[in-house]
Structure 1
């Protein structure tokens, strides 16, 4: 049996990776994120998570105003050591059409970040990422939690005085909200009905 050498990125540099380091790394697993200078690897996606992300991406892209676009699983450069990959983002149409950079958005491009919570991402999606998104000035954050086969959406808006998110609603059957733009999503549409 031949032992393959480990990739260089297995051992982080002193002080952790910067975004510039991260962008130069090759051979990383799909959906690797950079949070606090550390590489974050995700578990294989569950069906529920995949369907939630697809539903929100499709519905948000259909309902956003003309000057906005929805995108899925795109990294966002928040700072020198922060480059998470929200499940869904709503960005300006200008940012969506930009060809450089082609692999990520800047924090100022993002109007809304959406995370669907998985068992391995609970801490990051409930605490770490919202704090980083708020600090970067992203005005809206939605967290989608699983309750049995259903989804519950927790919606937050940035309070500019505290630079923290405040809750604007909890939604069970239907997400109906007017900020950051009017949107309505039937949360029962996650699982196909027979």
Structure 2
């Protein structure tokens, strides 16, 4: 069995008298399967390049925009697809990301106990930027999603309190994303399927 690394308990002066548990990575860093085995991980922890990425508290804006897109996708995806939240995608052994919303092939969603999907099962990954995630959502994750072959990627940024959706489509020859549109007020697309979502919050 692969060694899991140590769990240390450094004292934190913000919680006098308490000891907080922190995971110390094994040599070589964590791998994707570790997210299912490590005890007491905070919700929505991701693995990027072998390192654990902990999510900052959710803002109201991000929660509302995520719910808006999730609802729009769930009610409009074709019967052979399914929109899901709170799930991860195993990009490779050292990268396991959690988009805000994913659209996956329904045939891959028959096991109710699964915690992640393979890239070939993911049709669309949607990231809603926050202050702490902007660099990952603009630079790191698009490279990793494209390299894993995920055909469609939406990045949602905030402008004057409203969402702006940057739509990307994979160029299979270069395994990079091409920007196919920037959408304000209303998102209307025919690929990867017909979808229309009002973006006003």
Same fold (TM over 0.5): yes
In the alignment, structure 1 residue 74 sits paired with structure 2 residue 87? yes
Larger fraction in strand: 2
The Cα of 1:12 is off from its aligned counterpart by 1.1
Secondary structure at the residue paired with 1:129? helix
**Which runs of no fewer than 5 residues in structure 1 stay unpaired?**
none
Aligned to 2:143, which of 108, 131, 141?
Answer: 131
Match of 1:87 among 83, 88, 100: 100
Give yes or no for the alignment of 1:181 onto 2:193. Answer: yes
For 2:161, which of 149, 166, 176 is the aligned residue? Answer: 149
Give the match for residue 5 of structure 2: none
Structure 1 position 96, deviation (Å) = 2.2
Distance (Å, rounded) in 1 between the aligned partners of 2:17 and 2:66: 40
> What SS does structure 1 have at the residue aligned with 2:155?
strand
Structure 1 residue 163: Cα displacement: 0.2
**In the alignment, is residue 98 of structure 1 matched against residue 111 of structure 2?**
yes
Q: Flag structure 2 segments of 5+ consecutive residues without an equivalent.
A: 1-15
Cα displacement (A) at 1:186: 0.5
Which one has the largest radius of gyration?
Answer: 2
How far off its partner does 1:111 sit?
0.1
TM-score normalised by length of structure 2:
0.89
1:5, CA displacement in angstroms? 6.0
**1:114 equivalent in structure 2:** 126
TM-score (normalised: structure 1): 0.92
For 1:109 and 1:91, how far apart are their aligned partners in 2? 6
Correspondences of 1:6-85 after superposition (within 5 Å): 6-7=21-22, 9=23, 11-85=24-98
> Residue 180 of structure 2 corresponds to which residue in structure 1?
168
Return closer, same or farther for 1:60/1:5 CA change in 2, 3 Å cut-off: closer
**Higher RCO (C-alpha 8 Å, min separation 6):** 1
SS at match of 2:125: strand
Greater CA drift, 163-172 or 21-30: 21-30
Number of positions where the alignment pairs a residue of Structure 1 with one of Structure 2? 186
- Which ranges of 4 or more aligned residues in structure 1 deviate by more than 3 Å? none
Q: Name whichever of 166-175 and 90-99 sits farther off.
A: 90-99
